[in-house]
Structures are given as C-alpha cells and as structure tokens.
Amino acid sequence: MGTSQLLTYVAISVFCVFKAGSLDTFIAAVYEHAVILPNATLTPVSHKEALVLMNQNLDLLERAIISAAKQGAHIIVTPEDGIYGWNFSREAIYPYLEDIPDPQVNWIPCNHPNRFGYNPVQQKLSCLAKENGIYIVANVGDKKPCNASDPQCPSDGRYQYNTDVVFDSQGKLVARYHKQNLFLGEDQFNVPTKPEVVTFNTSFGRFGIFTCFDILFHDPAVTLVKDFHVDTILFPTAWMNVLPHLSAIEFHSAWAMGMGVNFLASNIHHPSKKMTGSGIYAPDSPRAFHYDMKTEEGKLLLSQLNSHPYHPVVNWTSYASGIEALPMGNQEFKGIVFSDEFTFLELKRVMGNYTVCQKDLCCHLSYEMSEKRSDEVYALGVFDGLHTVEGSYYLQICTLLKCKTMDLHTCGDSVETASTRFEMFSLSGTFGTQNVFPEVLLSEIQLAPGEFQVSSDGRLFSLKPLSGAVLTVTLFGRLYEKDPASNASSNVMAQALTVMLVVLTTIVIKVSPNPI
C-alpha cells in the first residue's frame, strides 16, 4: 500500500472510530466568578502568600466545577484572571506564575505532580478534572526562562504569559494557549513571538481557545474557525462592558452567530468595574446568559449544545447592494460612539425606510415601532473607519440605537434602558467584509433569543414583535485587512500546515501496527 493510500485509509478509519464514539450533543458550563483580589498588585509577595490567595479562588471554582459535573456537564470554562486578579506589575505577578509545559509531554499533574517542578495550581486543576470526570478550562500565568542568546528575551530573563489551560476528564493537560492580543495595562505579560492556534478534539466536537481582547482580531480567533474548522470556542475573559456595541453578552453572542460556532464565554463578576456578562451561545441563538450589575455573587450556567453546529453561509452585501440609496437632504447629523464619529439619521415616524451612508458603507433600515413615543429618540447610524481607542482596528458598522436623551448629540452615548418596542425591523449594509456580527440588545441589557435571524442575503431581521424595548440592533463588521500592521504578525497558514502534518503523522503512528 502506498503512502497516500495508507493516509487515506487511516483518515477514514480514524473518522469512523471518532464517529462511532462521538456525541451529537454535550452539556456545556460556564462560571461567572466573583474573584477574590489581592490587597496589593504592585508590590511582590512571597509565593506562599500568592498561593494562599489562589487557593481561596480555587476553592470557589471547585464548588462550581463539582456542581457542573453533578449536573452532567462535559466541560466548564472559568474566567480570565479568575485565580489571582489583575492590575499587577511585572514583578508582582511573578509569584503567581507556574511553568506550564507543552501538552505534547502527555502529563497528568494529579498523577505526577512533581514531573515539571512545583506546580500546585496545575495539580489542583488536574485533580478536579479527574475526580469529577469533566474538562476544565482555566486561566493561569505561565513563566518561561530565557537568556541573552535570545534577542527578544526580557531584561529580567524570563517570558511571562497570560495563559489558558485545558485539562481533560482524566486530568491530562490537553491544551495551553498564550494570549496574543494583550489589552492596555497588561504590561506584566509578554506577547508570544508567534500567534498560537490551539485546538483539541473530544468525543463531543473540536474545540479552539482564545482570550478576551483576542476576539476583536483576526489571529487567532478567525483563523481557528476558517482554517482549523473548530465547532466550539472556549473564551475565558475579564470583559468590561462598553455600550452601545461592546457589552459582553451582546458582542459574544453576535460573534457566535457571525462565525457559525458555539461560544462558551466565562467572565469575571466585578460590577464596580462593569465586569459581568457570561454565556453559552449557539450559532442560531443564545442558550444561556447572565448579566448582573446588582449583586456580588458568582453564577454557574449550563446548557446543551450540538457538538457539530450548522454553519450557514451569508453574503453580507447581497441584499443591500441592490437597494438604491435615496438622498436625505440635510437631515443627517454626526454623533460619537465610543470615540468614533458616526453619521446618523433620526427615525421621525412610527414606521419607515431609511438609508444612511459613510465612505463605502450604506446602511438600510426598514422598521415599524409599536408606537412613536414623544420621550425617546432613535437613530440609524453608520461608521466606516479606523477605531483608535483602547486598541486600533478597522470597523464597518450599521446600527439602529436609542439616543440617551431627546438631544441628538447624545446619540451614541451609553444607555441601559428603553421603552420603545419594535413590531419589526430589517437591517442590512453594503459591507466590504464577510466578517459581520449581528447584535440585538434589549432594555436592561437583555438578549432576544429566537426573536431574530440573519438571511443568506445579509439581512438582520425580526421574526416577531420583540419581547422587550430596543437598545440597539447592529451589524458590527470587521475589516481585518485594513488594521494597522502588527509587530507580532506571522504566517499563520504555514503554522496550520505544520499542525496538520503533525496530526496526520500522529494518527499514522497510533493506527499503523508498524509505524512509518
């Protein structure tokens, strides 16, 4: 048998084995954790003191993990910074870090805790996974020594990474991901020299993982879906809500729908910093979500998901490109949304059809309100440009939103409550990208599961009168190719080919009685 025939035979055989043992559905859990924070984050403490704090948080996570496992969960995601908090200096974070090996070492820390030095946090997570028969996703800190022969080695002689780890139901380390896109203030961590694309297979689907701010960029987020064909994204995050378009449950559910994957988002619960909003999202609709700015308690969510969700194909330009934009005279006005200058049109009637354009993007809206209230103003807005606050990335956005007050200058300001209900809406745009994320957010920061969908020609439209008053209906587009050049850019496709070669080689070695 030739090599190509053997690989084909092996691929078919392995597929059949996976298929026979695979699950069509699984139960996912995410835990929104009210993290216990250290007293000081700029002054270093001893490792013993750091471990005391981390064990306090691990005790809380343990309760959630045990509860999820008892309810049948196959996997649980916990938040970014959930074991020790945030706002550390580089020196102050060091006592909290452990040396996390490459998962290829085939290690179960619970069975062999000292194989790679003293790693009590990894041992604890491994034992929790093994004892409860559940996959555990956690965010920890990784440290890697380096020396002067490495021109990129930091002056203190080590790399420090914001790191996600995954332990399988046997307690084995199966994934390690170093965060690529660090947020402002994460100076305690280094960016990996090459973007990491991390996946792993289970009997209930193929998983990919990235962290918080990564979601706004192409690598590794889009690459995981487009090139590595994952079914489910695991997303530890410490997300601070920014209205009107970047509230956690709003944007994360939209990303799941836009990319056609399951999305498990676990956020920190810290209302004073506007940190809340976790969820279990399928491509067609949110399955469970939590947003709570009133209490200080954590929250465990569980829901059943399809292991291999259906990924519909959408042409985001098709419908809108066939509509002729009518001149609106001098009715347009400018407004600021998260420091971006939008072009707006006020919705002056109870129903209507409006078009507003900026640069290459024209947004079209058909709508009908239940009533045109005299105390609320809504507007249709468009933005086509480079966003430059708290990150730099190119956006194309079409949005229907409620203005904060009757003053048109407040259109784009953060607003959390509304009273106007919509009988119907249909929103579309002439996007220059196929990476568009559909958002619908109701009053009191609530989602609208099952009340809207996206058509194959690129319309975001209501299926029935909405159950709550509208804050925003938005198509949030990302033009990654127009982003500023990144210093950390790399050839991700070359990495993809390397990973695929390693996987094929591993399959051949495992299945063939005489490894080649």
Cis amide prior to 195 (ω within 30 degrees): no
When pLDDT is averaged across residues 152-176 and rounded to a whole number, the result is: 98
- The first and second tokens of residue 357, run together, are 């354009």
At 339 the pLDDT is: 97
Judged against a pLDDT cut of 60, whether residue 172 lies above it is answered with yes
At 324 the pLDDT is: 84
**Per the residue annotation, which of 130, 179, 299, 402 is the catalytic one?**
179
Judged against a pLDDT cut of 50, whether residue 506 lies above it is answered with no
**Per the residue annotation, which of 32, 80, 186, 250 is the catalytic one?**
80
Task: Please give the mean pLDDT across all residues of the chain.
Answer: 91
Q: What is the 3-state secondary structure (H, E, C) of 337-365?
A: ECCEEEEEEECCCCEEEEEEEECCEEEEE
Query: Nearest Cα to 259, choosing from 239, 238, 234, 232?
Result: 232
Element (H, E) at 225: helix 223-226
Judged against a pLDDT cut of 70, whether residue 512 lies above it is answered with no
334 is catalytic: no
Judged against a pLDDT cut of 80, whether residue 154 lies above it is answered with yes
70 is catalytic: no
126-130, 408-412, 414-418, 511-515, range with the lowest pLDDT: 511-515
Q: Which DSSP symbol is given to 218?
A: I
Residue percentage of the chain with pLDDT more than 70: 89
- The first and second tokens of residue 64, run together, are 């959630």
Distance (Å, rounded) from C-alpha 86 to C-alpha 64? 21
User: Exposure pattern of 392-425 as b/e (b: 16+ CB <10 Å)?
Assistant: ebbbbbbbbbbbbeeeeebbbbebbebebbbebb
- The first and second tokens of residue 298, run together, are 């954590």
pLDDT digits 0-9 by tens, 476-498: 999 999 999 863 443 344 344 33
- The first and second tokens of residue 194, run together, are 């090459």
Cα dist from 132 to 49, 56, 68, 74, 424, whole Å: 28, 19, 9, 10, 47
Cα dist from 354 to 349, 361, 426, whole Å: 11, 14, 11
More confident residue, 194 or 82: 82
Distance (Å, rounded) from C-alpha 73 to C-alpha 156? 42
363 is catalytic: no
Distance (Å, rounded) from C-alpha 185 to C-alpha 165? 22
Query: Are 50 and 94 within 8 A, CB to CB?
Result: no
At 267 the pLDDT is: 98
Q: Given 3.60.110.10, 1.10.390.10, 2.60.40.10, 3.30.70.2190, which CATH number is that of 25-306?
A: 3.60.110.10
Confidence of residue 505 (pLDDT cuts 50, 70, 90): very low
At 486 the pLDDT is: 63
Confidence of residue 327 (pLDDT cuts 50, 70, 90): low
- The first and second tokens of residue 110, run together, are 């619970």
**Per the residue annotation, which of 212, 363, 403, 411 is the catalytic one?**
212
Judged against a pLDDT cut of 60, whether residue 214 lies above it is answered with yes
* CB neighbourhood size of 185 (10 A): 10
pLDDT digits 0-9 by tens, 412-468: 999 999 999 999 999 999 999 999 999 999 999 999 999 999 999 999 999 999 999
At residue 500, the 3 state secondary structure works out as helix
Range list for CATH 3.60.110.10 in the chain: 25-306
